[in-house]
Chain A
Amino acid sequence: MRRILCQALLIVVLGSAIGLVVNWFSPRRIPWLRPPKMKLAANDLISLEQATVLWKSGEAIFLDARPPTAYADGHIVGALSLPIESFDVFFPKVQPRLATDMMLVLYCDGEHCDDSHRLLLKLRALGYANTRVLVNGWTRWRSAKLPTVTGEQP
């Protein structure tokens, strides 16, 4: 029994070590420790009420920061897919439909989701000043029974 427990421990330790070493050499490397969550100022955020008003009037463009598979499984009606992990691939597709003076509403999913925060920084750096994050947007949008649709980006 003791031998088996030692072997099991070894599997866990060696497996973990392989994971860390592979990450070191991987093009998809991520830091071992997660950087602290970005803190956004109040004027970087948008409330669900404000977002809904802008959505109904068509004054804002909604950008979905989640992975493309999540977008295909369901997204806010009219939202464009701009996954932060493949920003360079998706941005050229989305760019023709954006203007720097437009209001852009970014969302991902979950209280802990950092994707729309990171997307905000990228877009701001590119000159899109009127960009706001709808925190935990997907879950809250659905909970409020607002319109959603499935399918990949046209």
Chain B
Amino acid sequence: MKRLIPFLIRLLLGTVFVAAGALKALDPAAFANDVARYGMVPYPLVNLVALTLPWVELSAGALLVLGVWKRASALVIAGLNVVFLAAISVALVRGLEVCGCFGASVARKASPWSLVEDAVFLAAAAWLAWKSED
């Protein structure tokens, strides 16, 4: 039990991030539009973020699933979630119709639920980064 629960959390969190990263990576142009809509990145750098961020998500998620560099990958995922929480908060305050959370193919706009979702992911990732043994 003591080992099973962290393992399951690792598997779930990793899978979510692999999926989220892959969906964004599949359509970089659409994801770049979403990034631009948030208006948080200097305009010329929007594409650079849209090209790299999904692959960081994907890499960290995959490592977490595989159980390689568990604490470091959980730390990266926690960091990404802090960024996502900030971005979604801004979107909600400004009333933007954007999420981009799971790529543009899953059209969904940011809602307070997205914040809850990200907060749960953040808690899980932080806990893994803290507790896992390498």
Nearest Cβ on chain B to A85's Cβ, whole angstroms: 6
Interface majority SS on B: helix, strand, loop or mixed? helix
A19 touches B51 (CB 8 A): yes
Q: For A34, give its contact among B36, B58, B104, B134 (CB under 8 Å).
A: B36
Nearest Cβ on chain A to B61's Cβ, whole angstroms: 10
Nearest Cβ on chain B to A22's Cβ, whole angstroms: 7
A4 touches B47 (CB 8 A): no
B75 touches A28 (CB 8 A): no
Q: Which size class do B's interface residues fall under?
A: 35 or more
Q: Does chain A have a CB within 8 A of B84?
A: no
Write out the residue numbers on chain A whose beta carbons fall within 8 Å of the beta carbon of B72.
4-5, 7-8, 10-11
Interface majority SS on A: helix, strand, loop or mixed? helix
Give Cα distance in the complex from A136 to B24, angstroms: 23
Identify 18 residue pairs between A and B in the complex whose beta-carbon atoms are under 8 Å apart, listed by A's number: A11-B59, A11-B73, A15-B55, A16-B52, A16-B55, A18-B59, A19-B52, A19-B56, A28-B28, A29-B28, A30-B50, A33-B47, A69-B106, A85-B29, A113-B37, A114-B33, A115-B33, A138-B97
Which residues from chain B sit less than 8 Å from chain A, CB to CB?
25-30, 32-33, 36-37, 39, 43-48, 50-60, 63, 69, 71-73, 75-76, 79, 96-98, 104-107, 129, 134
Which residues from chain A sit less than 8 Å from chain B, CB to CB?
4-5, 7-8, 10-12, 14-16, 18-20, 22-23, 26, 28-34, 36-37, 67, 69-70, 72-73, 85, 109-115, 138-139
